[in-house]
Structure 1
């Protein structure tokens, strides 16, 4: 059985302050990105959404990439990307996480 670590009120205030500092330009992106899951807690991580084959194909086409180049960026095989786009397979694990990232921030997030 795993126990969920509760984020202290002090940590919550510090995280809010760090977010405000980042928003106002007092803290750079690299420093803010060093805040870890230990600080945030599991519930603050973005939830992975299922992605359909049509969405994957649309992402790839928006980026103007061939299946081969898209597969290379994701460290997948061309055949697997093809199966994902046709809906023969559903992405899971790291592939799903990368696809969610691309969906949210665009292909430049992983280039």
Structure 2
């Protein structure tokens, strides 16, 4: 059987034990910042007619609307035909565009 030499540094061990003791006693206290923010209400699903109305309010074609939303044109068309429903971030962006259409228009 082969033997292997192991280096042992007592100072490192003592330092590690001291660090652990400080952590456990609360000397190395970690503070967390908290902030209370008002969360927006959940966005209700939009009907195909509502998606179409948002696009028409912007007075743009489906491909231009899709580019503004950073989605494929087929997705915008699918939303308007009712084949697919917008979800998640896209639904939130549509809700913002419905209330403030100017946010999608770059000046």
Normalised to the residue count of structure 2, the TM-score between the two structures is: 0.61
Q: What residue ranges of structure 1 are gaps of 5+ in the alignment?
A: 1-37
Report the structure number with the largest CA radius of gyration.
2
**Partners of 1:60 and 1:84 in 2: how far apart?**
11
1:73 aligns with 68
> CA offset at residue 45 of structure 1?
1.7
1:8 aligns with none
- The alignment status of 1:39 with 2:36, answered yes or no, reads yes
2:104 aligns with 110
> CA offset at residue 94 of structure 1?
1.2
Q: What residue ranges of structure 2 are gaps of 5+ in the alignment?
A: 1-34
**Partners of 1:90 and 1:82 in 2: how far apart?**
11
Aligned residues: 72
* Residues 86-105 of structure 1 aligned to structure 2 (within 5 Å): 86-105=81-100
Aligned mate of 2:77, from 79, 82, 97: 82
The 3-state SS of whatever aligns with 1:51 is coil
Consecutive aligned runs of 4 or more in structure 1 exceeding 2 Å deviation: none
The Cα offsets for residues 63-108 of structure 1, whole Å up to 9 and x where unpaired, read as: 11010110001010110100000011010011111001111222x1
> CA offset at residue 46 of structure 1?
3.0
**Partners of 1:80 and 1:57 in 2: how far apart?**
12
The 3-state SS of whatever aligns with 1:40 is coil
